[in-house]
Amino acid sequence: MTHNHIGSEGLPRFPEPYWRDSVTLPTFQSLQEDLEVDIVIIGGGITGITTAYLLVKEGLKVALLEADTLLNGTTGHTTAKITAQHGLIYDELISHMGRTKARQYYEANSEALQFIKQTVEEHQINCDFSQQDAYIYATTKECVHKLEQEFTAYQQLHIPGELISHIPFDIKIHKALSMKNQAQFHPVSYLTKLVQLIVESGGLIFENSMAIDLEEGTQPTVLTREGRRVTANYVLSCSHFPFYDGLGFYFTRLYAQRSYVIAVKTEKEFPGGMYISADQPTRSLRSTTMNGENIVLIGGESHKTGQGKDTLEHYKALEAFGHEVFGMNEILYRWSAQDLVTLDKVPYIGEITANHRNVLVATGYRKWGMTNGTAAALLLRDIVLKRENSYIDLYRPSRFFINPSLKEFFEQNLDVAKHLISGKLEVPDRKIEDLTNGEGSVVLYNGERAGAYKDDNGQLHIVDTTCTHLGCETEWNHGDRTWDCPCHGSRFSYTGEIIEGPAELPLKRLQ
Ligand SMILES: Cc1cc2nc3c(=O)[nH]c(=O)nc-3n(C[C@H](O)[C@H](O)[C@H](O)COP(=O)(O)OP(=O)(O)OC[C@H]3O[C@@H](n4cnc5c(N)ncnc54)[C@H](O)[C@@H]3O)c2cc1C
Ligand code: FES
């Protein structure tokens, strides 16, 4: 473990998740030849890896292509609570989709939790899996009403839960809603074991192999950035933002939300359990062990990607909260990541559009992908094997509920349009000469908007800030030293390389 030095702001200098630093991950070569397989899976996060594990177990020939390295996407940066308590959701699902679908959502996620538990037991996976109760708490009177409504929804859906007045640590709360017997784990340890099992069963895994396009047909073919072709009976897009979007469906129906996590040693003992606030700003808490010692993960500060304040401020807000509640000895790690949200808050899992029977997608978990990603893997397996699955309609990507989807659709796309235009009209007031070492900013460069970062050695890296996806203007993310797009969440390094899609081309360098 190499957790990095503390920088001038009192935080670890570079963002790095504890999960990835505490496990030695296997490495895989990039795809060097054309392939023909039964199933090609794009993306090596919890969805892609779990799906590959399930399908090789069924005797299918599976290839998994990962653009970067395995588990370096959102799954490597999660907080890894495994629960069907997804914040306040069931009351809303009942009013938008009815009781049957709301209950199904609970069942799909509870079954996913049970699947993870059984898999851990079956393979004796050493991944700190432990049963924990989950709590949503309200610190304001306004939110108490919402918790009461959610509790009523639990009763209507027969979800075991309790409305209580105390949680076991020093936050002044009005009420909390519990869901018993949920769980937490070390996600990278768990999935590293599944990777080993995939390889032992003959599954093929390729890293640094980005899928950039798809040729449709009875046997679709995935094309990689390096010009390789993988032909299969089914293509499964588990790439977070879908790597292929035949009809432009997903760009208008998904948006990215970032949040922040710090891992800390605390003065007060963490009492167990997993917590999330119902009020804003969100605060999320759980503990884990590091070298036999308890450490606490404090998460929260969500905002739309590319639209927040100075991102270091988000870490500082979490630090202040930690000091107040637990007293803090040391911040060991900090990291941030984003997840995708759909119009009606239920993931899109199934045929990518109604016309594509052999191209499937799984995305939009709204920061609850440990269970939703696992439920997705189980559903994708059943679709491929033509088995019955009760959740096909619930998750079907082509569903459309007038309320809330229509309102969200207009709001999201108005927001994208706003950023598309406002970024172009903005005249930056900073110049390259203003930057100090370690600082990045939008600047005026040769009379145009550009992005400049001056690294610790004083070297300048200047890029065209126009996102190569659909042309919105990216914004500087100070905490991660990246250029983030406010429209669909693409992210680029300060040298312009792609970190996260949907963009498939780097930002143009201007030097
Ligand atoms: C801060 C934070 C905290 C969270 N906490 C929780 C929690 O406590 N509990 C919970 O249930 N959920 C939580 N979530 C949500 C959860 O982590 C995600 O929903 C889940 O990890 C998404 O998994 P995935 O497999 O879909 O995507 P990812 O893990 O992002 O995997 C997708 C992979 O696809 C690759 N890829 C992308 N494009 C291509 C391409 N063109 N070709 C090849 N590969 C490609 C990427 O490199 C990536 O490795 C949290 C999310 C965040 C941001
Ligand atoms: S314009 Fe779509 S991600 Fe940037």
Look up residue 453 and give its two tokens.
């970062």
The DSSP code for 382 is H
Q: Which of 201, 223, 202 is nearest to 212 (CA)?
A: 223
Under 8 Å between Cβ of 73 and 45: yes
Q: What is the pLDDT of residues 240-263, one digit of tens each?
A: 999 998 766 788 888 899 999 999
Sign of CA dihedral 324, 329, 330, 335: negative
- Cβ–ligand 1 distance for 211 under 6 Å, the answer yes
Q: What is the pLDDT of residues 87-139, one digit of tens each?
A: 999 999 999 999 999 999 999 999 999 999 999 999 999 999 999 999 999 99
- CA 423 to ligand 2 center in whole angstroms: 12
Q: 402 versus 298: which is more confidently predicted?
A: 298
Helices H / strands E in the chain, number of each: 10, 26
Q: Dihedral of the CA atoms 76, 79, 82, 87 (nearest 10)?
A: -130
| Residue 432 amino acid letter | I
Query: Taking residues 336-343, what's their average pLDDT?
Result: 94
**Which atom number of ligand 2 is nearest to the Cα of residue 490?**
3
| Per-residue pLDDT at 8 | 55
**Which atom number of ligand 1 is nearest to the Cα of residue 68?**
47
- Cβ–ligand 1 distance for 184 under 6 Å, the answer no
| Per-residue pLDDT at 272 | 94
> Computed over its alpha carbons, how large is the radius of gyration of the chain?
22
The pLDDT of residue 359 is above 70:
yes
Residue 397 preceded by cis peptide, ω within 30? no
Q: Which of 229, 147, 132 is nearest to 184 (CA)?
A: 132
Look at residue 411 and give its three-state secondary structure: helix
Cα–Cα distance measured from residue 451 to residue 507, given in angstroms and rounded to the nearest whole number: 10
Query: Taking residues 472-492, what's their average pLDDT?
Result: 91
Buried b (16+ CB within 10 A) or exposed e, 480-494: bbbbbbbbbbbbbbb
- Cβ–ligand 1 distance for 72 under 6 Å, the answer yes
List the residue whose alpha carbon is closest to atom 3 of ligand 2: 488
| Per-residue pLDDT at 463 | 96
- Cβ–ligand 1 distance for 364 under 6 Å, the answer no
Query: Taking residues 486-509, what's their average pLDDT?
Result: 92
- CA 420 to ligand 2 center in whole angstroms: 9
Cα–Cα distance measured from residue 415 to residue 408, given in angstroms and rounded to the nearest whole number: 10
Q: What percent of the chain has pLDDT over 70?
A: 94
DSSP string, 39-73: EEEE--SHHHHHHHHHHHHTT--EEEE-SSSTT-S
Q: What is the pLDDT of residues 393-417, one digit of tens each?
A: 999 998 876 667 667 776 777 777 6
Cβ neighbours, 10 Å, residue 188: 26
Cα–Cα distance measured from residue 477 to residue 421, given in angstroms and rounded to the nearest whole number: 20
- CA 340 to ligand 1 center in whole angstroms: 9
Sort strands 229-231 and 39-42 into parallel, antiparallel or unpaired.
Answer: unpaired
pLDDT grade for 9, boundaries at 50, 70 and 90? low
- CA 359 to ligand 1 center in whole angstroms: 20
